[in-house]
Amino acid sequence: MKKIIISGLLTGCILFVLSYGGLWLAVRFFSALFAEYNNPLFNSDGNRDVLFYLHAFIFSFALSWFWDRFKSMFRGHMMLRGLEFGLVYALVALLPVMWISFSALDVTFVMVLSWFAYGFIQAAVAGIALARLNP
Amino acid sequence: MFHIPLFLISLLLLLPLTKERWVISENSSLMVNGSTNVNKFACEIPAYDQSDTLTVSKNGRAAVLSGCVGLNIASFDCHNTMMTRDLRKTLKQKEYPRLYIQFLSLSEISDVTAKTQTITGLVNIELAGVTKRLEINYQISADPAKVIHLLGTKDINFSDFNLIPPRKLGGMIRTNDQLTVTFHLKIKTI
């Protein structure tokens, strides 16, 4: 349990820096892609900002438990295990969620595709970190 | 004793006060320009959906106006469905469905000709339940059909009307507080 929490916390810190740093850079350098977020579907008064920024840790703790439970199924080099873990997460969790999001919400395909890519990269990075921290 | 200020005020009061009625035609428009840290937007009410009348009381070169224009927030079009909905939500359309511009005065109103004159005037703008008195810069002219074109421009802030500019993704996408409001009234005198 202790290992799950510690590796989850450290992975959360890595994801926090990479995710929000990456997002900040993407908004700065590919600003046109983000114009679609001026949409009432997205919270606009800032009252959920804390929840938004906590996402990295919610994600890392969930993946840390998942990794601990199924890590024996991912074999090979740390990088390969992490990438495979990210791919499994993308197929099992992300794809169905993105599918239902695109079918039910008034969002563009490019937006949903970017969420899928973002989620896959996050899960792969988390997988690599977890393979290193909790082999 | 002869009191000069009182004498001048009395003289002013004796000046002939001429009244005119201005009918705002239905193809008048209003435009709002704003920006976010990722894009710019221009939203407009392309055609005024009713005809209102303003009363113009000329007193020398200046004029006192009375009358009000009410605009439907639902008529705003940002040429992008999502932005349009977002603007309407920000302006609290459900609670305050109309934006009102109450005309109060014009600094100068001599004969309106084809030559564009720059004047100023006071208006009260009521938006989202908050009323603000603002000085507007106008350009006024008349076309050959004797339609008066009154083009008003003013920079306002969302915060002036207790509105919160939208911010998305934890503040990574932010709408700037300042908006430029431009309205073009096409007026016929009666």
Q: What CATH number does residue B171 fall under?
A: 2.40.128.110
Of B41, B82, B167, which has the smallest distance from its Cβ to A46's Cβ? B167
ipTM of the complex as predicted? 0.80
Q: How many other C-beta atoms can be found within 10 angstroms of the C-beta atom of residue A29?
A: 8
| DSSP state, residue B153 | E
Task: Give the pair of three-digit tokens for residue A57.
Answer: 């840790």
Distance from the Cα of B170 to chain A's closest Cα (Å) equals: 5
Res A56: pLDDT: 95
Quick check: is B71 in a domain?
Answer: yes
Res B113: pLDDT: 82
Query: Which chain B residues are within 8 Å of A43, Cβ to Cβ?
Result: 168
Q: Please count the residues of chain A.
A: 135
Query: Which chain B residues are within 8 Å of A23, Cβ to Cβ?
Result: 169, 172
Q: How far apart are CA B24 and CA B69, in angstroms?
A: 9
Q: How many other C-beta atoms can be found within 10 angstroms of the C-beta atom of residue B2?
A: 5
| Mean pLDDT comparison of A36-40, A121-125, B166-170, highest-scoring range | A121-125
Residues pairing with B133 in the sheet:
B124
Query: Which chain A residues are within 8 Å of B167, Cβ to Cβ?
Result: 44-46
Query: Which chain B residues are within 8 Å of A45, Cβ to Cβ?
Result: 164, 166-167
| CA A122 to centroid of chain Cα atoms | 4
Quick check: is B161 in a domain?
Answer: yes
Q: How far apart are CA B57 and CA B66, in angstroms?
A: 8
| CA B187 to centroid of chain Cα atoms | 14
DSSP notation for A29-83:
HSGGGGGGG-STTS--SSTTHHHHHHHHHHHHHHHHHHHHHHGGG--SSHHHHHH
| DSSP state, residue B77 | B
Quick check: is B4 in a domain?
Answer: no
Backbone angles phi, psi at A44, to 5 degrees: -125, -5
Instruction: Answer whether A31 sits within 8 Å of B169, measured CB to CB.
Output: no
Quick check: is B59 in a domain?
Answer: yes
Instruction: Answer whether B85 sits within 8 Å of A37, measured CB to CB.
Output: no
Q: How far apart are CA B43 and CA B78, in angstroms?
A: 4
| Of the listed ranges A4-8, A42-46, B99-103, B161-165, the one predicted with least confidence | A42-46
| pLDDT range class, residue B106, cuts 50, 70, 90 | confident
Distance from the Cα of A6 to chain B's closest Cα (Å) equals: 26
Show which residues on chain B lie within 8 Å of chain A, measured between beta carbons. 36-39, 41, 80-83, 85-86, 89-90, 164, 166-173, 175
Quick check: is B93 in a domain?
Answer: yes
C-alpha closest to that of B187 among B154, B126, B145:
B145
Res A44: pLDDT: 82
Quick check: is B184 in a domain?
Answer: yes
| Of the listed ranges A26-35, A41-50, B57-66, the one predicted with least confidence | B57-66
| Of the listed ranges A9-13, A91-95, B44-48, B118-122, the one predicted with least confidence | B44-48
**Is pLDDT above 90 for B10?**
no
For Cα atoms B19, B23, B24, give the angle at the middle one, nearest 5 degrees. 135
Range of the domain at B151: 18-189
Please give the tally of structural domains in chain B: 1
